[in-house]
Structure 1
Amino acid sequence: MITKFLDRLLRRGPRPKSDQSGATLVAHKVSKKSHQINPALLSKNAVKVTHTLQQAGYKAYIVGGAVRDLVLGIAPKDFDVATNATPEQVQKLFRRSRLIGPTLGEG
C-alpha cells in the first residue's frame, strides 16, 4: 500500500518484480506542493548537516524511514543522511564527529 502511494506521489511506474542488480538509480526531486511535507517536522540538525555537506560540494539527502514518516505526517524519531562524501571528508566538516566502524550493512 505505501509502495503504491509513493510510486504515485513520485510519479514512477510500477516497481519491478525481479531483482535488477546493477541498475542505475535516479533521484527525483519532488516539489514542495506535491509532497506537502510539514517543515516543522524536520530536524533542524538534519537540515544543517545536509546543508553543510551540500555547501562543501557534496550531495546530501535525508533518506530512509524519516522520509516515509515525513510523507505520512509523522515526526521521525531519527534522521539518516546519505552522501557521496567519504567518512574522512565528513569528519573534516564536523569536527566533533567520530568514526565508529564499518558502515551499516557491511560485515
Structure 2
Amino acid sequence: MYILIKCDVCPTQFKAKVKKIKVGYYKGKSVILHYLECPVCKHIHVTKWNTPAVNKWSDKVFMTEWNMRMYRKKPEVYEKYLLEYEIAKYQESKVINEVKQCLHLKI
C-alpha cells in the first residue's frame, strides 16, 4: 500500500517518498529539511524541519495533540490542552520562519 500525495501546484498525485537534505546551520546546530518532491513540477513539499530549536516546539505540538485525543470527552481538560496546542503551533511556526530567514530560504 502506498500513500499518495497531491501536489499543491499541479494536479499530479505521487507516491510519498521522503527525502532529506542538510540546508545549513541555525544557532550553531545543523538544519535538516525533510521533504517530498513532485516528480512533474519539482515543487518541494516540506514535511519536517529538524533542528533543536524547532524540535522543541514540534515535540510540544505532538504531545498536546496526543493529550487532546486522550481527553476529548473531558471539556475542561481538553480546553487546557487546546490552548497549549495553539501556543505551541504559533511558536513552532515563528521559529521555522526565523530559520528560513537566517538561511535565506524561500520554501
Q: Return the TM-score normalized by structure 1.
A: 0.23
Higher helix share: 2
Higher strand share: 2
Highest CA radius of gyration, 1 or 2?
2
Q: Return the TM-score normalized by structure 2.
A: 0.23
